[in-house]
Amino acid sequence: MATQTESQYSRYKEEFSSFLTDTWIGYAFVIPATVLLAVVIGYPTLRGLYLAFFEVSLLNPEQMEFVGLQHFRALAADPIFKAALWHTVLLTALAVSFQYLLGLGLALALKEKVPGAGIFRSLSMVTWVMPIIVMVIIFRFMVQNGFGPVNIILDSLGMRTTYWFGEPGVAFPLIVVMHVWRNVPFYAISLLAAMNSIPKEQYEAARLDGAGPLERFRYVTLPQISYVSMIMIVLHVTFTFKNFDIVYLSTGGGPLGNTEVLATYVYKQAFEQYALGYGASIGVVMLILMLTFTIVYVKLEEVD
């Protein structure tokens, strides 16, 4: 009896010791990354949240005055902020929708092994890896008044030419086009990879059940690319929502504030008006909106 108890105790001890060892090894692996993330992501985030409740100048960041929710009240009455928020939401919705739909269409076309698909796959990432400044220079050149290729074509068709980034009403759609141009191939490649992982037998079975191309897409393809779709959409919604470079380099937020987005407004508040606290409060609004979107979207995807 004593031997049995001793043996049980020994087994528990071994298991506990093994658990502890394994766990601590796990912790040991995780801790460096956690500390790094805390420093690189956690600290700036918390600091930004903190600053949003203070009046603080970029030129004298040591002098901080607690103002509570004053910045958020000011944001509610700030017409430029409201316009920038609307532009940001509209830009994100349009850019991500077009990117997804065009990327999906392209992926379906590539899946059917259209001629040139191999070359496209090789070249497709060029737009995505291209530095944003290079992309903006190319687009600026393309719509340059007089000698830009777009204007040369329009002129040959007897249509109006101008510097289109300087045209109210056209500058904003052009920003959308730049986002779409940059990201569609990445969507296509990612969705194509997800489609290629679907077993062919499922399509065969659907065909035997009398499913046409649309049904096969709706009931076989779409459900099985939804996870990749979710990742792509969440990533690009956040990327587009906080994107600064594309707008700032191409229009600076103009003309007449037509392309002002939250990211450019944060920059102007922090680095031109020196209003760090107010800029941080805009950042907090962006954080809340993005977190809400991500949580809701991921939950909906799980339910689905």
Partner 1 sequence: MLKGLGVGAAASLAGCGGLGGGNGDGEQALMWEYGFPNTEGAEPVWRNKFESMYEELAGEEIQISRYSYEDLRQKFLTGASTGDPDAIEGTLSHLSEYIAAEHVEPLDDLADSIDHLDGYVDSTVEAMTYQDTLYALPYEGNARALFVRQDILDELGQDVPESAEAFHEIGRMINDEYDDVTAFHNCTKDGSVRAFQEWMTHIYQHTDQLYVPDGDGWQLNIEADALGQVFDNWYYQIYAADNPVGDPDDLGTGWQTNDPGYINGNYAFIESGTWMRNWTSGENIQSTDAAKDILDNKTLIAHPAHADGASRGTFLEVKPVMVNTHSDQIEKGKTAVEAYTHPETLGEGMAQDPEGSGKAMTPVHDDVESTIENENWQPLTDIFTTGRALAKATWGPVREEFYTYMQEVSYGETDPYDAGEQFHEALQDLESEI
Q: Which residues of this protein are in contact with partner 1, per CB under 8 A?
A: 43-45, 47-51, 56, 58-62, 140, 144-146, 161-163, 165-168, 171, 242, 244, 248, 251-257, 263, 266-268, 270-274, 276, 279-280, 282-284, 286-287, 290
Query: Which is nearer to partner 1, 91 or 284 (by Cβ)?
Result: 284
| Rounded least distance, CB 236 to partner 1, Å | 15
| Rounded least distance, CB 184 to partner 1, Å | 24
Query: Which is nearer to partner 1, 203 or 274 (by Cβ)?
Result: 274
| Rounded least distance, CB 238 to partner 1, Å | 8
| Rounded least distance, CB 132 to partner 1, Å | 14
Query: Which is nearer to partner 1, 117 or 287 (by Cβ)?
Result: 287
| Rounded least distance, CB 245 to partner 1, Å | 10
Query: Which is nearer to partner 1, 13 or 47 (by Cβ)?
Result: 47
| Rounded least distance, CB 233 to partner 1, Å | 18
Burial class (CB in 10 A: 0-12, 13-18, 19+), 169: exposed
Query: Which is nearer to partner 1, 217 or 274 (by Cβ)?
Result: 274
Burial class (CB in 10 A: 0-12, 13-18, 19+), 55: middle
**Residues 108, 110: Cα–Cα separation, whole Å:** 5
Quickly list DSSP for the chain. -HHHHHHHHHHHHHHHHHHHHHHHHHHHHHHHHHHHHIIIIIHHHHHHHHHTTEEEBSS-TT-EEE-TTHHHHHHHT-HHHHHHHHHHHHHHHHHHHHHHHHHHHHHHHHHTT-TTHHHHHHHTTHHHHS-HHHHHHHHHHHT-TTT-HHHHHHHHTT-----GGGSTTTHHHHHHHHHHHHHHHHHHHHHHHHHHTS-HHHHHHHHHTT--HHHHIIIIIHHHTHHHHHHHHHHHHHHHHT--HHHHHHTTT-STTTT--HHHHHHIIIIIS-BHHHHHHHHHHHHHHHHHHHHHHHHHHHH-
Query: Which is nearer to partner 1, 103 or 279 (by Cβ)?
Result: 279
Task: Please name every residue paired with 57 in a beta bridge, in sequence order, or none if there are none.
Answer: 275
**Residues 209, 147: Cα–Cα separation, whole Å:** 58
| Rounded least distance, CB 95 to partner 1, Å | 17
| Rounded least distance, CB 172 to partner 1, Å | 12
Query: Which is nearer to partner 1, 102 or 234 (by Cβ)?
Result: 234
Query: Which is nearer to partner 1, 171 or 192 (by Cβ)?
Result: 171
> Is-cis flag, bond preceding 185, omega within 30?
no
